[in-house]
Amino acid sequence: MKQDNQKDNLLVDIRDLNVAFFLRQGVARALANLNLQIKRGETLGLVGESGCGKSVTSLAIMQLIPEPGKIMSGEIHFNGEDLMKKNRKQMRKVRANSISMIFQDPTSALNPVLTIGDQLTDTMIVHQKMGRKAAREKAEFHLNEVGISNPGRQLKQYPHELSGGMKQRVMIAMALSSEPDLLIADEPTTALDVTIQAQILDLMLDLQQKYNTAILMITHDLGVIAEVTDRVAVMYAGKIVEQTDVKTLFKEALHPYTNGLMKAIPSAVADLADHEKLYTIPGNVPTLLELPHGCYFQKRCHLVSEECRSRHPEFTERSAGHLVRCFHV
Amino acid sequence: MSVLLKVNKIKTYFPIRRGLLQRVIGHVKAVDGVDFHLNELETLGIVGESGCGKSTVGKTVLHLIPPTEGEVIFEGDNLEELNEKEMQQKRMHMQMIFQDPYMSLNPRLTVREIITDAPVYHGLIDRKDTRKLAMKLMDFVGLSSRQLNRFPHEFSGGQRQRICIARALSLNPKMIICDEAVSALDVSIQAQILNLFRDLQQEFKLSYLFISHDMGVIRFISDRVAVMYLGRIVELAEKKELFTNPLHPYTKALLSAIPLPDPEQKKKRQPLQGEVPSPTRNYPGCPFAERCPMVIEECSTTVPQLTELGNNHQVSCIRV
Amino acid sequence: MNSTIDNIDKGQENVTFEKGESLSLLAWYRFKKNKLAVASSVFIGLLILVAIFADWVAPSHYAAEDFMSSYLKPGKDFLLGTDFLGRDLLSRIIYGARVSLSVAVIGTLTSFIVGVSYGIVSGYFGGKIDNLMMRIVDILYAVPTILFVILIMVYFRAGKSEEFTGFKALMYNLDASMGGMLFIFIGIGLTAWLPLARITRGETLAVKEREYIEAAVSQGIGRRRILFKRILPNIMGPLIIYASVEIPTMILYEAFLSFIGLGVNPPTPSWGGMIAEGIQGIRSYPHLILFPSLAMTLTVLASNFIGDGLRDALDPKLKD
C-alpha cells in the first residue's frame, strides 16, 4: 500500500471490521477487527470451520448481514468507495452491477415458480435497462458460456427440472451476466459430486480469466483451495489467523490451526501406516459466545503457553505477504 | 475370518406412480443387483456419487427398506424369513449411524433416554441402571457424562454424532452401518470421529459398512472398498489395490476428480463429462457407457458382470 | 462377549449433572416474553374460575326474575342493568361464560383426541389404510354441518316431549339434562376433528421419515412405542397451535346457534342467546346487547392472543 498503483489494484479493502450477533444467550462477536484485501482479478480463498465467520464476511461485503446481526464498526472499501456509507438504493446498484454471489445450495437460491429465463433476464431488464429480446439473447449467450448446450430450451425450464450441477451452472451464468468485478462463491461445490465439482471449478476458472473477475472463494475444503485460489486466509473464531499465497500455505503453513487442519484431512492419495491414527485437533469448534481471554485457539493448541492466555497475539508479517497470528511460530 | 453379512443379488426398486389410480409407470432402480459380503471385524467402504444407491444399500441391508429381489443373510439367518419379533432381536446386532446428527436424534429426549431407551426396551438392563449405562457409554465416546440430562440441541455437531455412536453401541451390535457418518462434520471434528470409529472397532469387535462419497475418508477407514455407480458395484477390491491400481474407468475418473491439497499439481486431471443419468431408465448395456472415455460399440449391448480378476479384485467392465 | 452392559457398575457415583433445557422449556421461556399472551392467559384463567364458581360470584341466580325492575340501565343495584324479565345482566353473563367455555374446552378436547388418534394412525400406517381413512374425512367434510345440526335439532326438539318414545326420548332427555348443549357438541364433534386429523396425518408423515425414527426402528423398538413415545411428542407443537386457534371458532359457533334459537334451552343463559334477546330493544336498551357482546369479544380476542403466543413459542422458525 506504499505505492499508488498498488492501491488502484485493490478491489476490496476491509478495515477493522466488527460484526456482532445479538442473541438470547448473549452477544456473539462473529467478526473481530477483520482486515482483508482482495486484488483485482485474483482468487482469494477463505477457509475455516463452521461458525468461523467466513460466510459473515461475505455477507458484510454485500451489506446483507441478517438480523439479529449488526456491523458494529469498520470500513469496507470496494473500488475505492466505502460501502458502509452507501444507502439502500446505492447498495442495491452495487449488488446488481459489481458484486455477484453464488451459494452452496443452488436449489434454494433459485425461485421455484419462475423459469430459468425469467430469473436470468430480470436483473438485466431492471438494472441494465435492456429490452426483453436483447436480455434473452444475452441470457442465452451466458448459458452457452457456462457449458449449457441448448440454452433456448433451458430458458423455458423451471429449476426443479435441472440437476444440481446444472442449477449451479445457471447460478454462475446469472452471477456473471452483469460482468461483476467480484464474485463471492460461498461453498459453491460442497453440495455437488466430485466429478461435477471438477467441472464447475474448471468453469469458474475459465470465466475468471475471460472477465478478469476477482473471486472470493469460501470453502472448508482445502483441496478446492489448492486447486483454484491464488491467496488464502484461514479464519478461526471470527479472526484471520494466517494469510499467505496458496503455495506457501501448503508448503510452510505456520499457525498450529492451519497445520492441524491440513493434517486432519484423510488423504485420498496416500495410506497411513497400519493402525496409525489421523492427526486431530482436540476439543470442539468454539462457540462465539464463550471465547477465552487471550488467543482464541488456546484451548485446542499444543503450543499453548502462559502468554497465549493473557493477551491476544497480533497479526504479524513473517515473510513477504505471509501473516500469522501466533506467539510461538 | 468368518463372514458376518452376505448380500446376494439385492435389487431395491421404488415404483413411480402416476394418476388417479396410482398406476405404476416405472421404477427407480436405486439398487440393481448388488453382491458383497462383510467379514467379522472388517470395514467395507462403499463409495459413489449421489444417487448411486449407496445409502439404499445400507437401508436394504437393515431391512428398513425390504429388497425387491435378492436376500440379506446376517449371522447365518436370512432376514426375509424372520418374523417381527425375531427381526426386532436381530436388529440389536446391526445398528446404523446417519449423516445428519441434527436429524437423527429425537429432540424431545435427553441424552440418557436416547442412549438407554432401546436396551431397557429389550430388557438388556434394568430401568434403574440407565444412568450408569449412559455414563459409561458417554465416557467411551468421549462425552462428559455430566451432560447426561441435556437435550440434543444443547450439543455441537460433533458431540451429537458421538451421542449417535453411543446409542448404536448400547445394544452390543456386531455391525454398524455408517451412512455418510462424518460428512456433515467440520474437518477437525471429522478426524476425531474417524479415530473414534477405529478405536471402537477394536474395543467392541465391530464390523463396519462404511458408506461415504469422500475418497479420503474411505481410504482411511476401510479394509476393502466397493465403488458404486447407478445402483451397481462397478469395482470391489482391497483398499490398497483399489487406490493404487484402479481398473474400472469410473473409479479412475472418480479418483482423478478429487481436488488435491497440493497447489503444485494444478490442472492435471481430466474431469468426467456429463452427469449421472436417471436411474429410471433401462440399460441394455453398461450404465456407464455414455460417460465412459473407453467406450466401444459392444458396451451399449452387453451388460458387464462383476468378475474376479485375481487378487480379490472384482471389476464390472468388458474392457478390462 | 464384549460388553457395554457387563460390569456396568464401573460408572462413578458422585457426579453433579448439568441440567438440560428441553424444547418445551424453551417454548415456555418464549411464551413468557409475550406480554399480551400472558395477560390473555390470566384473563381466560380468571374467566374459567368465575364460570366454575358462578354460584358464589354472581350477585343473583341467572333465572331470578323481578318484574318491578325490568329494563334497568346499569346502576348501583344492578351493575350492568337488567333484561326484559328483570334478570340481573351481570349474573347472566357470568353464567353464560359456563356455556361458552365448556363448549370451547370440551369441544376442543374431544376433537383433539379424536382427530389426533385418527390422524396419527392414518399417517403412520399409510398405504391403503391411509387412503381409506382420508377418504372418510373427505366425505365428512362435504356434510353441510350447520344444516345438519339444525335438522337433527328440529327433529328431536319439535313436538310434545311427553309423547316421545325410544331413541328420540333418550336424546331429548339427554339434551335437556345438558341444558341443550348436546346438539351443539354433536355438531362440533362431527366436523371440528377433521382438520386436526388432516394436520396430524401430515405431521406424522413428515416425522415418520425423520432419521431418529429410522434409528428407533433399526434399534428394534416396537411400533406402538414409536408411535406414542417417539412420534407423538414431536408433532404436538403444531397440533396445539391449531387447537388453540380453533377455540374462538367454537365459541362463535355456539353463539351463532344460540343466536338463531337452536342453542341452549332458556332460561339457561348463553352469550349468543342474550344477544338475540337484546336485539329487539337495541335502540332503547343498547346495554342488553353491548355487555354480552363485549364479554364474547374479549374472550375471543384473548384466545386469539394466546393462540398467537403459542404459535410464536412453539414454532420459532415462523418468527425469528
Query: Model confidence over C17-44: pLDDT tens digits?
Result: 888 888 888 888 889 989 999 999 999 9
Lowest mean pLDDT among B35-44, B300-309, C240-249, C300-309: C240-249
**Of the candidates B11, B43, B44, the residue with the CA atom closest to the CA atom of residue B27:** B11
- In whole angstroms, what is the distance from residue A254 CA to residue C128 CA? 64
pLDDT at C320: 37
Residue A187: is its pLDDT beyond 70? yes
Chain B CB contacts of A166 below 8 Å: 275
Mean pLDDT value across residues C75-86: 71
Whether a cis peptide bond, with omega within 30° of 0, leads into A286 is no
Residues C148-161: pLDDT tens digits?
778 877 787 777 77
Pick from C107, C105, C106, C101: nearest CA to C53: C101
Task: Flag if C4 and B205 touch (Cβ within 8 Å).
Answer: no
Q: What's the order of all strands across the beta sheet hosting A239-245?
A: A99-102, A182-186, A214-219, A43-47, A231-236, A239-245, A322-324, A316-319
- The dihedral region occupied by B67, where left means phi > 0, alpha psi between -120 and 50, and beta the remainder, is beta
- Is the CB of B106 less than 8 angstroms away from the CB of C219? no
**What one-character DSSP code corresponds to residue C82?**
B
Strand order in the sheet with A10-23: A26-39, A10-23, A69-78, A81-82
CA-wise closest residue to B53 among B280, B207, B221, B254: B280
The amino acid at residue A1 is M
How far apart, in whole angstroms, are the C-alpha atoms of residue B130 and residue B132?
Answer: 5
Provide the 8-state DSSP code for B155: S
Q: How many CB atoms lie within 10 A of CB A323?
A: 19
Name the neighbours of A, counting chains with at least 3 Cβ pairs within 8 A.
B
Average model confidence (pLDDT) for chain C? 82
**Chain-chain contact of C215 with B124 (C-beta, under 8 angstroms):** no
Q: How many CB atoms lie within 10 A of CB A62?
A: 18
Q: Which residues of B touch C207 (CB under 8 A)?
A: none
pLDDT of residue A8: 67
Interface of B with A in 212-251 (CB under 8 A): 213-221, 239-240, 243
The one-letter amino acid code at A290 reads: E
Nearest by CB: C219 against B100, B140, B171: B171
Contacts of A202 (CB under 8 A, 6+ apart): B271
Q: Which residues pair with A36 in a beta bridge?
A: A14
| Candidates B158, B159, B260; nearest CB to A226 | B260
Contact B242, C39 (CB under 8 A): no
Distance from C-alpha of B162 to C-alpha of B150, rounded to nearest angstrom: 14
Q: Pinpoint the alpha helices (H) of B170-214.
A: 187-204
Using CA atoms, how far apart are residues B245 and B309, in angstroms rounded to an integer? Answer: 12
Q: In whole angstroms, give the CA distance from residue B190 to residue C179.
A: 68
Instruction: Give the domain ranges of chain A.
Output: 2-98+178-324
Q: A199 with A168: CB under 8 angstroms?
A: no
Which residues, in sequence order, are CB contacts of A70 under 8 Å at separation 6+? A19, A20, A21, A22
pLDDT given for residue C175 in this prediction: 78
Mean pLDDT of C276-302: 84
Q: Which residue of A has its CA nearest to B269?
A: A198
* pLDDT (0 to 100) of residue B1: 67
Cα–Cα distances (Å) from B119 to B112, B244, C68, C220, in that order, read: 12, 43, 77, 10
d(CA B130, CA B112) in angstroms, rounded, equals 7
Q: Are B173 and B93 in contact (CB under 8 A)?
A: yes
Do β-strands B232-238 and B314-315 pair in parallel, antiparallel, or remain unpaired? antiparallel
Contacts of B177 (CB under 8 A, 6+ apart): B58, B61, B62, B94, B95, B96, B97, B208, B209, B211
Give the model's confidence band at C14: pLDDT under 50 very low, under 70 low, under 90 confident, else very high.
Answer: low
Cα–Cα distance, B96 to B160 (Å, whole number): 14
The amino acid at residue C95 is Y
Grid cell listed for A239: 479472526
Mean pLDDT of A137-166: 87
pLDDT on residue C153: 78
Report the residue from B124, B139, B146 with minimal CB separation from C17. B146
Pair A232, A244: CB distance under 8 Å: yes
pLDDT-based confidence at residue C13 (cuts at 50, 70, 90):
low
Q: Indicate whether C1 pLDDT > 60.
A: no
* Interface touch B272/A198, C-beta < 8 Å: yes
Q: Is the pLDDT of residue A274 over 80?
A: no
DSSP-derived secondary structure letter, B208:
E
The reply to whether ipTM tops 0.95 is: no
B277 in reach of chain A (CB within 8 A): no
State the pTM of this model: 0.84
B window 29-68, beta carbon within 8 A of C: 59, 62, 64
Place of cell 411428542: C233
Instruction: Tell me which residues of chain B, numbers 159 to 198, contact chain A at a CB-CB cutoff of 8 Å.
Output: 159, 186-192, 194-195, 198
Among candidates B263, B223, B270, B266, which has minimal Cα distance to B243? B223
Which stretch of A218-227, B58-67, C45-54, C278-287 has the lowest confidence by average pLDDT? C278-287
Residue C315 has pLDDT above 80, yes or no: no
Mark yes or no for CB contact A265/B191 under 8 Å: yes
Burial class (CB in 10 A: 0-12, 13-18, 19+), B274: exposed
Place of cell 318484574: C67
Architecture per CATH, A2-98+178-324:
3-Layer(aba) Sandwich (3.40)
The CA distance from A36 to A53, in Å, is: 13
Q: Which three cell numbers stand for residue A204?
A: 469458474
Would you give per-residue pLDDT tens digits along chain B (320 residues)?
689 999 999 999 998 887 777 788 888 889 999 999 999 999 999 999 888 889 999 999 999 898 999 999 999 999 999 998 899 889 999 999 998 888 889 999 999 999 999 999 999 999 888 999 999 999 989 898 888 999 998 888 889 999 999 999 999 999 999 999 998 888 888 999 999 999 999 999 999 999 999 999 999 999 999 999 999 999 999 999 999 999 999 999 988 888 888 887 755 566 677 777 777 877 788 889 888 888 888 888 888 999 998 888 999 999 88
- Mean pLDDT, chain A, rounded, equals 88
- The pLDDT value given to residue B205: 93
Torsions phi, psi of B279, nearest 5?
A: -80, 5
